[in-house]
């Protein structure tokens, strides 16, 4: 499935609108302004929360937790001490962790699981700031990958003005 993810301009907090390949809005990410650490609500267009994202504070390196209800769905963490490129892990319960690597500064990276590409993220075809496509392979958890993409964007581009 292909999604178009765009960060909203002129808003309090990190808000994202996510559309499908037919340009229909399917998800909204509501960043909570004025909170201690980043907190976001990943919602469908009816306002139902599908996941929430919380920044872990007082840990070594950027770390975020993605919850579905009260259940921890994943921990997204930037790997430290990687030379020449960035890497992120998406640690899910069980053996199906994801790795994200590529050119995060230019929004060109992919998620992989067991050596197989699970999703690709690309800003190549979009001209607006913080707008990019996310192609997710069949059978993958779209909400988890999109929420992880939001986290990576926040970690890598939180203070960008590009």
pLDDT tens digits for range 112-131 = 999 999 999 998 666 556 68
Domain for residue 42, yes or no? no
Report yes or no on 27 lying in a domain: no
Domain count, the chain: 1
| Enclosing domain of residue 135 | 47-157
Does residue 147 lie in a domain region? yes
Residue 35 lies in a domain: no
Asked whether residue 89 is assigned to any structural domain, the reply reads yes
In a domain, 14, yes or no: no
Q: How many degrees, rounded to 5, is the angle at CA 117 between CA 51 and CA 98?
A: 45
| CA–CA separation, 45 and 73 (whole Å) | 21
What tens digit of pLDDT does each residue of 130-143 get?
688 999 999 999 99
Q: Are 44 and 38 in contact (CB under 8 A)?
A: no
Name the more confident of 13 and 17.
Answer: 17
Is 55 a member of any domain?
A: yes
From 71, 39, 32, select the one nearest 53 (Cα to Cα). Answer: 39
Residue with tokens 């999109």: 146
What pTM value is reported for the model? Answer: 0.87
* Position 134 in a domain: yes
Hey, what's the torsion of the CAs at 107, 112, 117, 120, to 10 degrees? -20
């Amino acid at each position: 499935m292909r999604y178009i993810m765009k960060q909203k301009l002129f808003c309090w907090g990190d808000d994202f609108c996510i559309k499908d390949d037919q340009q229909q809005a399917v998800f909204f990410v509501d960043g909570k302004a004025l909170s201690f650490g980043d907190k976001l609500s990943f919602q469908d267009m009816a306002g139902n929360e599908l996941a929430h994202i919380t920044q872990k504070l007082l840990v070594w390196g950027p770390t975020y937790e993605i919850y579905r209800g009260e259940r921890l769905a994943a921990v997204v963490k930037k790997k430290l001490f990687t030379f020449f490129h960035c890497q992120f892990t998406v640690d899910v319960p069980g053996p199906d962790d994801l790795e994200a690597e590529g050119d995060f500064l230019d929004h060109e990276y992919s998620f992989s699981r067991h050596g197989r590409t699970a999703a690709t993220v690309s800003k190549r075809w979009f001209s607006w700031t913080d707008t990019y496509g996310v192609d997710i392979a069949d059978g993958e958890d779209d909400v988890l990958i999109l929420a992880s993409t939001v986290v990576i964007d926040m970690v890598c581009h939180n203070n960008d003005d590009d």
